Chain A
Amino acid sequence: MSLQATTWQTVGPYFRIGLEWLFGNDIAAGVDGQKIQISGRVLDADGKPIPDAMLEFWQANSQGKYAHPEDTQDKPIEPNFQGFCRLPTDEGGRFRFLTIKPGRVPGPDGKLQAPHIVVSVFMRGLLRRLVTRIYFPDDPANQDDFALNLVDPARRVTLIARKGQASESHFEWNVMMQGPEETVFFDC
């Protein structure tokens, strides 16, 4: 009989105490690749901002290689790029961070996945994390992407960032917990 994974519990309202030492909003400094800014909001069932959520982002470098021993692809590692960002939402439920656009990584179907960032969502009221992904608009690779193709086409839009107002390299992406535009979450 094998062991069973420990039960999740909510991160609660006071996570900042224990987790803020790793908060950051710029993982692009000194890193090769296309620098991008991603901003957005986390909203509840009534469309009200959630001021006490935490997001964790995990992504490959611009070459499509993860800073992890199990990524054995013959691609260059970026010594200054860990690929991880943790941040809280502010009073308006907003977040913003700077990173580089990730390259394509292999999917289990033998094809490359479209560029994407994987995201964990934590907040008071959420008994275990939710997992979602950020894709990029107008990327032809989205058509053929392993994970996007698991999703009802009408809901895929929730996973694809929109072009932002601030600059060519700005993207907007929201997390909607409920409602007609409820974000697609993955069982992970």
Chain B
Amino acid sequence: MQYPRGYRRFYPDTQPNHLHPPYVSSIKRAPTKPLIQLPHTLSEITGPTINPSRVDVKAFDLTKQHPGEPLGERIVVSGRVLDENSRPISGTLVEIWQANAAGRYLHKVDQHNAPIDPNFSGVGRTLTDAHGHYRFVTIRPGEYPWRNHYNAWRPAHIRFSVFGPAFATRLITQMYFPGDPLIPFDPIFNCTADEKARNRLISQFDWETTEPEQCLGYKFDIILSGRLATPWEK
């Protein structure tokens, strides 16, 4: 068997360090010893694939999961999943979860004094199409307080989870909204040193996917690690 090529490593400073003291929870949970460099083996070059039959084709629309319509501003969030070589990643699972319009998650740990919306669960999933496109219809999430520091508020965001083609390409991230005044103060957003890399987490308002009389569109492309150009490198 010819040994498959590995995936590219992250560019310096475009990813968070595990320890980021302004994000207080990282202090007791970040490893203290350096990570061991592991050239990708077959175990990292392969990875889970989810049987498409498990993904409900209606799960992309978070506004139609209950008898009534959720409260808040309807939005479309769409984009492409690509690798660093601009190749579309087709058929990969994209999972999202988020707070409702009032800034409340449907989760027992979330005790924020904001109403639960009986018509909004805040969970969606879909598979990318042949060109790597995905599309969700949802409600613009609200900002919410957290206890990281005095008067701490998270900017509005949607959480994304993507597998990609390999164990090595796994990604979990958060998508933010343009113009959110809380972004510059958010320790989680600011955990990455490279400003351009950080700012790529902010979606863009998009006329093309904005639907007349219906909803605004936001665009958010997701880039996964690309394949190394050469076979296994020592």
Q: Give A contacts to B, CB under 8 Å.
A: 2-19, 21-22, 44-46, 50, 52, 56, 58, 60, 66-68, 70-73, 82-84, 105-108, 113, 116, 118, 120, 122-131, 133, 146-147, 150-151, 155, 177-178, 182-188
Contacts and interface: CB of A to CB of B under 8 A. Distances in A.
Contacts of A183: 31
Contact of A185 (B31, B49, B192): B31
Contacts of A2: 84-86, 226
B30 A147 contact: no
A14 B28 CA distance: 19
Contact of B168 (A21, A56, A188): A188
Contacts of B161: 11, 15, 18-19
A133 B46 CA distance: 15
B139 interface: no
Contacts of A107: 41-42
Contact of A108 (B16, B170, B201, B232): B232
5 closest residue pairs by CB, A with B: A18-B97, A125-B25, A68-B46, A84-B48, A127-B16
Of listed A14, A66, A131, residue having the most chain B CB within 10 A = A14
Contacts of A151: 36
B11 interface: yes
Contacts of B159: 9, 11-12, 14-15, 18
Nearest to A108: B232
30 contacts: A3-B85, A5-B11, A5-B171, A8-B15, A10-B188, A12-B159, A15-B97, A15-B161, A18-B122, A18-B125, A58-B43, A70-B42, A70-B166, A82-B51, A105-B42, A106-B3, A106-B41, A107-B42, A108-B40, A116-B43, A125-B27, A127-B17, A130-B18, A147-B41, A177-B28, A178-B28, A178-B31, A183-B31, A187-B9, A187-B35
B10 interface: yes
B107 A17 contact: yes
A27 to B, nearest CB: 11
Interface stretch (B66-74, B177-185, B217-225): B217-225
A187 B86 CA distance: 24
Question: What is the interface of chain B mostly: helix, strand, loop, or mixed?
Answer: loop
B107 A8 contact: no
Question: What is the interface of chain A mostly: helix, strand, loop, or mixed?
Answer: loop
B43 A5 contact: no
Interface in B1-34: 1-4, 8-11, 14-18, 20, 23, 25-33
B122 to A, nearest CB: 6
Interface residues of B, number: 83
B110 interface: yes
B50 interface: yes
Given A82-B51, A133-B43, 19 more contacts: A4-B14, A5-B226, A7-B14, A7-B200, A8-B15, A11-B172, A13-B107, A13-B109, A14-B110, A14-B159, A17-B122, A18-B95, A60-B43, A106-B42, A127-B188, A129-B170, A155-B33, A177-B29, A187-B38
Contacts of B29: 44-45, 50, 123-126, 177-178
A146 to B, nearest CB: 7
Interface string B148-162: 000000000001010
Contact of B50 (A16, A17, A22, A106): A22
A116 B44 CA distance: 12
Nearest to B187: A127
Nearest to A116: B43
Contacts of B86: 2-3
